[in-house]
Amino acid sequence: MNKVKGIIVGTYLTKTVKNSKDKVLSSKEICNHCKMKDKCKYRQISKFENGKVIDNNVECDSFCFSITPKAIVTTGRDTITGRRTTKTFVGKNEKEAFNKALSFQIEMEENQEFRIITKSNKTIIDLVKNKIEEDYKLGKIIKATLKRKSDTIKKLSKEKFTNKPISKVTRDEVVKYLESLKNYSKSTIKQNYELLCMAFRQAKYENIITDNFMEGYNRVEKPKSEYKSHHRVSLTVDEQKKLVDYLNNANYKDCRHKYILLLLLSTGMRIGEALVLDYDKDIDLENRKIYIRRTQTKDNNGKAIIGNTTKTNTGQRTLNMNNIIYQIIQGALEHRIENKEHLLFCKEDRKMYVENSINSSLKRIVLDLDIGIYEEENTKGKLVKKTDIHTHMLRGTFATRCAEAKITPAVLKKILDHTDITVTMKYYVDVDIEFEKAENKNVEDYLIYKEIFNVDSDYNFDYV
């Protein structure tokens, strides 16, 4: 019989317990209680002759002894212990066992199934936690992203399947969970789906699983959201006029957030950046500059703190004050409250504002102004008025007005501190209808000027 690498063939002794009452004990325990243990040397039989055991303990009253031809084929290697992982085939003789093992090895090589498999109890939660923490340490993600992913992991950890070894998680369990997310927003579904993909990708990389059903042509697909969203990226021109008029005319004592909201509308800076502006270091009235050096973030306990840097690596930037911004900053400085952090905006008790309080204030204002209103049924079945306006939409409103003013995407990307220009481009889609009409007229005039089309001068078309 030819020798083949990765296959070991031999005839081995098989020892089985005779008495059912002894089966609760291990082989070693049975031998330890045997009065003949010194004579048979713990039943360690290794001699064979013509397929028969030749030793004095063949008459043992505890075990039956037999010989079995076996072929053991190597299937992989455990990365933790370094030991081989194997599969055993038996036959009537060594040749038959060998042929079975050889067929399996050939099939395994054709399918490229030789794997170094690691036995592990790591769960989906274990894998994603370790991966995002590693990415943060290596600077691949920023602290805000780490916080957002950690919040998603916390919610994901409430599911039973995420807390058992990932090698035991089934495709059906993942599909059922993703199906339950269909009534959530696209972003919520995306965040959960990405973490699941990350976990299974990492498990495959660490050789914990052989099949990753979250990738490839037969992968589990991300579900489509059925959530009826009221989300939009910006205010219309009329809505913005209404809000700005209200803020400009509001008494400061009745609307202490007026300058924060006006600053967001006129600069497009993030709410977190505005809330930590230092009136000594970040405001330069003489040169008409605003220096953005940092943002508000949260500590491990979820408490708002002043961060050491901005949201992105390129976020530290300088904004030029036009006359609109200059006037708003002057108003903010006139009403500033001295505080130890030198914050341009702070509460009467000299403590820092948090985003939620500004957001709540904005919602109260726009509800009174009937901006972005829709009705939704509450838990008691009663229709209540709500608004889709929030502080980040003020940044989006600034960006949309910039797009309408024909600022190029590259310049707007820099002003807004976007890492990806595709994020900037969405504001060029959400332009105001009046701007769209004007641009359509420009296209018509150009086509007629170039004599590509001829139109009767009497025909007047109202663009929609």
Decide: 387 and 367 in contact? Cβ < 8 Å.
yes
User: What would the DSSP string read from start to end of 336-376?
Assistant: ----TT-BSSB-TTSPBP-HHHHHHHHHHHHHHTT-SEEEE
Flag whether pLDDT at 39 surpasses 70.
Answer: no
Give me the pLDDT at residue 216, please: 85
pLDDT confidence tier of residue 57, bands split at 50, 70 and 90: very low
Nearest to 432, CA basis, from 228, 241, 266, 243? 241
- Stretch among 29-33, 169-173, 216-220 having the lowest mean pLDDT: 29-33
| pLDDT tens-digit map of 169-178 | 999 999 999 9
148 vs 116, residue with greater confidence? 148
Decide: 329 and 263 in contact? Cβ < 8 Å.
yes
Strand partners, 52: 49
Flag whether pLDDT at 80 surpasses 60.
Answer: no
CA distance 376 to 93: 76
CATH of domain 237-387: 1.10.443.10
Nearest to 195, CA basis, from 139, 151, 229? 151
| pLDDT tens-digit map of 312-365 | 777 788 999 999 999 999 999 999 999 999 999 999 999 999 999 999 999 999
Give me the pLDDT at residue 176, please: 93
Give the distance from CA 280 to its chain's centroid.
38
Average pLDDT in the chain? 82
- Stretch among 4-8, 53-57, 413-417 having the lowest mean pLDDT: 53-57
> In the sheet where 84-90 sits, what is the strand order?
7-17, 63-77, 84-90
Say which amino acid occupies 38. D
pLDDT confidence tier of residue 210, bands split at 50, 70 and 90: confident
Within 13 A of 76's CA, how many CA atoms are on the CB side? 17
Give me the pLDDT at residue 19, please: 66
β-pairing, 296-298 with 373-377? unpaired
Give me the pLDDT at residue 31, please: 66
Decide: 31 and 37 in contact? Cβ < 8 Å.
yes
Flag whether pLDDT at 233 surpasses 90.
Answer: no
Flag whether pLDDT at 453 surpasses 60.
Answer: yes
CA distance 34 to 132: 57
Flag whether pLDDT at 464 surpasses 80.
Answer: no
Flag whether pLDDT at 284 surpasses 50.
Answer: yes
110 vs 305, residue with greater confidence? 305
Flag whether pLDDT at 230 surpasses 80.
Answer: no
- Which of the 8 DSSP states describes residue 146? H
298 vs 2, residue with greater confidence? 298
Give me the pLDDT at residue 442, please: 74
pLDDT confidence tier of residue 405, bands split at 50, 70 and 90: confident
| 51 phi/psi in degrees, rounded to 5 | 80, 10
396 vs 298, residue with greater confidence? 396
Within 13 A of 333's CA, how many CA atoms are on the CB side? 13
- For the record, the structure tokens of 96 come out as 């038959």
- Stretch among 148-152, 252-256, 434-438 having the lowest mean pLDDT: 434-438
- Stretch among 199-208, 309-318, 362-371 having the lowest mean pLDDT: 309-318
Residue 146: other Cβ atoms inside 10 A: 15
Q: Domain limits of the chain?
A: 7-110, 124-205, 237-387
Q: pTM for the complete prediction?
A: 0.58
pLDDT confidence tier of residue 186, bands split at 50, 70 and 90: confident
